[in-house]
């Protein structure tokens, strides 16, 4: 049962410590692989096609496993699921540094995608059921901030160590550190729940999730498109590699700068108080980018989009936790996360298609429209989901 509104006790504190510590270890693995995998595959002599396949198969693994992961979460409980997910992911990362077979590398990284899905769902369930509802947005926003910081810092360290260590040790170190973070997370009572006949009937159909997920899918497409468009437009304007790196750094810095605002805003003013400015700033940033013909304009667009994305820190995790039903929440969160993640594939596809046919400026303008449409869909199909203090524990107000 969810904690009553405003509850703060020893169990909530232990749950918060568990979530934050294990999330640090998890993001360490994710950020390390961003650099390690391409470097390792290039060192092994694989081409661009094989590299793209290995990197992309993690997303496929996460989508395909969403329903089984959710079922497992409802059956064994989120704490055990997270522990298994971290340990299995660490083992796969070590394997990615040891094995040379393309088939094995594909298999291991697909399992990494399954683990990512499991850890995300498990963390959402822990926050939803063991931490006060008044702090839900803040906890998920901290998770989002941690993800951003590790993606900024860890790749730098990984690149430095790659030039000095054997590849096996570069994969083993983040794996060992992630397990250390899991140990540091401390003990948390395992919640083993057996699904009842009633639980099995109360499964939200996948089709019914499409409406609330639709706006978030489009927002994910905008997020993914941003990180592809900026370098491409930089190249089109004949920017040097250092200037392109500066653009990406600018948008990332703005992102991190405002991320701490997202959580308190969601919990004190409501989820829509974050959704509206986040989506709006992203759309404005894309609109500015669509008119960019020089460095300063691109830099302004990069900063505006970074501010918008930073305000969305933890937003998707929070909305998923808010919308999950009282029963079969793991299955709902697994499916809902898989649906929203399809936007990560849609964004680069739109940029590639429109950029090739109409030009990059048209692609940027299209993503501005996509983001605005996403905001409208969230307003229509989700609305405000912040828990109402007058509601019974575990219930929320929503328009889904």
pLDDT for 343-375, tens place per residue?
Answer: 887 888 888 888 888 888 999 999 999 999 999
- pLDDT per residue as tens digits for the range 41-77: 888 888 877 887 888 788 888 888 888 998 898 888 8
Same domain, 252 and 160: no
243 and 105 within one domain: no
Residue 154 located in a structural domain = yes
Let me know: does 252 contact 313? Beta carbons within 8 Å. Answer: no
Residue 366 structural domain: 205-381
Do residues 60 and 174 share a domain?
yes
Interatomic CA distance for residues 81 and 72, integer angstroms: 8
Burial of 31 (0-12, 13-18, 19+ CB in 10 A): buried
Confidence at 389, pLDDT banded by 50, 70, 90:
low
pLDDT value of residue 398: 37
pLDDT by residue (tens digit) across 32-47? Answer: 888 888 888 888 888 8
Domain match, 125 and 239 both: no
- Same domain, residue pair 211 and 136: no
Q: Are residues 81 and 174 both part of a single domain?
A: yes
pLDDT(6) > 50: no
Q: Do 164 and 304 fall within a single domain?
A: no
Structure tokens at 43: 């060192």
The CATH number given to whatever domain includes residue 349 is 1.20.1250.20
Judge whether 395 lies within some domain: no
**What is the total count of domains within the chain?**
2
pLDDT value at residue 394: 37
pTM of the model: 0.80
- Tell me the two tokens of residue 198: 């009633």
Which of 6-15, 185-194, 243-252, 298-307 ranks highest by mean pLDDT? Answer: 298-307
pLDDT over 80 at 12, yes or no = no
Among 245, 221, 250, 241, smallest CA distance to 374 is for 221
Whether residues 176 and 271 fall in one domain: no
Domain-embedded: residue 85:
yes
- Indicate if 177 and 38 belong to the same structural domain: yes
Q: Do both 156 and 130 map to the same domain? A: yes
Assess whether pLDDT exceeds 70 at residue 22: yes
118 and 231 assigned to the same domain = no
Same domain, 165 and 302: no
In this predicted model, what pLDDT tens digit does every residue of 311-326 receive, in sequence order?
Answer: 998 899 899 888 888 7
């Amino acid at each position: 049962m969810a904690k009553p509104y405003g509850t703060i006790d020893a169990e909530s504190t232990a749950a918060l410590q568990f979530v934050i510590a294990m999330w640090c270890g998890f993001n360490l693995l994710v950020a390390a692989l961003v650099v390690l995998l391409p470097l390792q595959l290039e060192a092994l002599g694989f081409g661009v096609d094989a590299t793209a396949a290995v990197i992309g198969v993690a997303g496929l693994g996460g989508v395909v496993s969403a329903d089984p992961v959710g079922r497992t979460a409802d059956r064994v409980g989120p704490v055990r699921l997270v522990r298994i997910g971290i340990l299995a992911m660490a083992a796969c990362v070590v394997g990615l540094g040891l094995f040379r077979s393309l088939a094995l590398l594909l298999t291991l990284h697909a399992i990494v995608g399954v683990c990512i899905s499991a850890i995300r769902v498990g963390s959402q369930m822990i926050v939803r059921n063991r931490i006060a509802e008044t702090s839900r947005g803040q906890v998920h926003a901290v998770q989002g901030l941690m993800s951003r910081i590790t993606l900024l810092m860890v790749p730098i360290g990984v690149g430095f160590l790659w030039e000095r260590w054997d590849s096996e040790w570069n994969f083993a170190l983040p794996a060992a550190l992630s397990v250390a973070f899991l140990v540091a997370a401390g003990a948390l009572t395992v919640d083993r729940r057996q699904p009842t006949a009633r639980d099995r009937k109360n499964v939200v159909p996948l089709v019914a999730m499409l409406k609330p997920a639709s706006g978030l899918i489009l927002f994910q497409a905008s997020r993914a498109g941003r990180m592809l468009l900026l370098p491409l437009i930089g190249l089109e304007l004949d920017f040097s590699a250092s200037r392109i790196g500066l653009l990406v750094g600018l948008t990332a810095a703005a992102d991190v700068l405002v991320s701490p605002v997202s959580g308190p805003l969601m919990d004190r003013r409501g989820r829509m108080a974050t959704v509206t400015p986040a989506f709006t700033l992203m759309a404005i940033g894309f609109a500015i980018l669509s008119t960019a013909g020089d460095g300063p304009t691109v830099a302004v667009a990069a900063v505006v989009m970074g501010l918008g994305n930073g305000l969305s820190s933890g937003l998707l995790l929070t909305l998923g936790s808010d919308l999950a039903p009282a029963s079969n929440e793991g299955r709902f969160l697994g499916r809902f996360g898989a649906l929203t993640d399809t936007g990560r594939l849609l964004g680069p596809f739109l940029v590639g298609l429109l950029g090739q046919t109409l030009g990059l400026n048209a692609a940027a303008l299209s993503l501005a429209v996509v983001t605005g449409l996403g905001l409208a869909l969230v307003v229509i199909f989700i609305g405000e989901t912040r828990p109402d203090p007058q509601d019974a524990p575990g219930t929320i107000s929503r328009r889904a």
